C-alpha cells in the first residue's frame, strides 16, 4: 500500500513565524502536491512538483514556498505565517508524470496537518 | 458560480437508508473522482470514472457526461459511512474539487 505521511497532525504557530510542513511518500511517486482545505471552499492546490528540485505554482501559491530535494519528500514553507493561513493542509502524491492526474492514476493523500496561526 | 457543485451540503440518514450524493460541474472533463474524507482529515479514493457506472461493495458511482452530472449512491447505509464525500473533476490540465457533502448516518 502507498503511504503518504505528514510530519504533524496538529500545529499551532504565531503570526510571523516560519513554518515547515513535511510530507513523505514511500512509493517512488513522481508527482507530489500540497493542498489547503477550508470549509465551503474544497481543496485548493498550492504547489506541486513533478520531479526533484522542480516545482509549479497551483491556484493559491501566494504566501507559500516549497522544496523538493529528494524524490520522496516535499516540504511546504510558510515564510511568515499569517492568521489567514490557518487551515487544514493535505499532501498527496501520484505515480504518473502526466499533468496533475491522468484518467487512470489516482492521488494518495496524507492524513493532513491542521495548522492554527494565532 | 463554482465550477464543481455538490448537493446536498449536509445529509443525515438513518442506518439502512439508501443515500444519494450529487455532483454537477460546468467544465469539460476527462475524468471524475469520488473521494471520502473521515473525521481527522485522511482522504481515500473511492472511484475514478470517465463514463457509465462503477460499483464497489455498497457504493455505486454513475456519470452522465452530456448532462455534466455524477451521483454517488450508498446502499444499506451504516454509521461507518459517516464522512465527507468529495467530488473532483479533471479539466485539461488541473483538478477542481467540489466543496464536499457531509454525511452522518445515525444508528
Q: For all residues of chain A together, what is the average pLDDT?
A: 89
Mean pLDDT comparison of A43-52, A80-89, B25-34, highest-scoring range: A80-89
Per-residue pLDDT at A59 = 87
Chain A positions in Cβ-Cβ contact with residue B40 (cut-off 8 Å): 9, 111-112
Distance from CA of A98 to the nearest CA of B (A): 9
Question: By CB neighbour count within 10 A (0-12 exposed, 13-18 middle, 19+ buried), where does A72 fall?
Answer: middle
What's the Cα-to-Cα distance from A118 to each of A44, A97, A115, B37, B56, rounded to whole Å? 22, 38, 10, 26, 43
A100 closest CB neighbour out of B4, B41, B94: B94
Q: Test B90 with A107 for CB contact under 8 angstroms.
A: no
Chain A positions in Cβ-Cβ contact with residue B31 (cut-off 8 Å): 101-103
For the segment B40-66, the average pLDDT, to the nearest whole number, is 89
Scan residues 7-36 of A and list those with Cβ closer than 8 Å to B.
Answer: 9
Query: A66-81 pLDDT, tens per residue?
Result: 999 999 999 999 999 9
Please say whether the beta carbons of B22 and B80 come within 8 A: no
Report whether pLDDT(A96) > 70. no
For the segment A79-91, the average pLDDT, to the nearest whole number, is 96
Q: Test B50 with A40 for CB contact under 8 angstroms.
A: no
Helices of type H across A1-118: none
Q: Any CB–CB contact under 8 A between B98 and chain A?
A: yes
What is the band of A20 on the pLDDT scale with cuts at 50, 70, 90? Answer: very high
Cα–Cα distance between A23 and A92 in angstroms, integer? 8
Report whether pLDDT(A14) > 70. yes
Residue B77, phi-psi category: left (phi > 0), alpha (psi -120 to 50), beta (remainder): beta
Report whether pLDDT(A12) > 60. yes
What is the band of B25 on the pLDDT scale with cuts at 50, 70, 90? Answer: very high
| Mutate: best of B1, B5, B8, B43, partner A, most A CBs <10 A | B43
Query: B27-38 pLDDT, tens per residue?
Result: 877 788 899 998
For the segment B71-96, the average pLDDT, to the nearest whole number, is 90
Please name which of A58, A51, A116, A56 lies closest in space to residue A88, comparing C-alpha atoms.
A116
Amino acid at each position: 500500500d502507498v503511504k503518504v505521511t505528514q510530519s504533524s497532525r496538529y500545529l499551532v504557530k504565531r503570526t510571523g513565524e516560519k513554518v515547515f510542513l513535511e510530507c513523505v511518500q514511500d512509493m517512488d511517486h513522481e508527482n507530489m502536491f500540497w493542498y489547503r482545505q477550508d470549509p465551503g471552499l474544497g481543496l485548493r492546490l498550492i504547489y506541486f512538483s513533478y520531479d526533484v528540485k522542480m516545482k509549479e505554482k497551483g491556484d493559491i501559491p501566494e504566501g507559500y514556498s516549497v522544496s523538493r530535494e529528494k524524490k520522496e519528500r516535499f516540504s511546504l514553507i510558510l515564510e511568515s505565517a499569517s492568521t489567514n493561513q490557518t487551515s487544514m493542509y493535505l499532501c498527496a502524491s501520484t505515480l504518473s508524470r502526466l499533468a496533475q492526474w491522468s484518467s487512470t492514476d489516482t492521488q494518495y493523500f496524507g492524513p493532513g496537518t491542521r495548522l492554527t496561526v494565532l | 458560480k463554482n465550477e464543481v457543485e455538490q448537493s446536498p451540503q449536509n445529509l443525515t440518514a438513518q442506518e439502512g437508508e439508501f443515500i444519494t450524493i450529487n455532483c454537477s460541474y460546468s467544465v469539460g472533463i476527462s475524468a471524475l473522482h469520488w473521494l471520502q474524507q473521515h473525521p481527522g482529515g485522511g482522504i481515500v479514493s473511492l472511484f475514478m470514472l470517465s463514463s457509465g457506472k462503477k460499483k464497489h461493495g455498497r457504493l455505486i458511482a454513475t456519470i452522465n457526461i452530456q448532462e455534466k452530472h455524477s451521483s454517488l449512491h450508498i446502499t444499506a447505509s451504516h454509521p461507518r459511512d459517516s464522512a465527507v464525500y468529495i467530488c473532483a473533476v479533471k479539466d485539461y490540465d488541473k483538478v477542481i474539487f467540489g466543496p464536499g457533502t457531509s454525511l452522518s448516518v445515525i444508528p
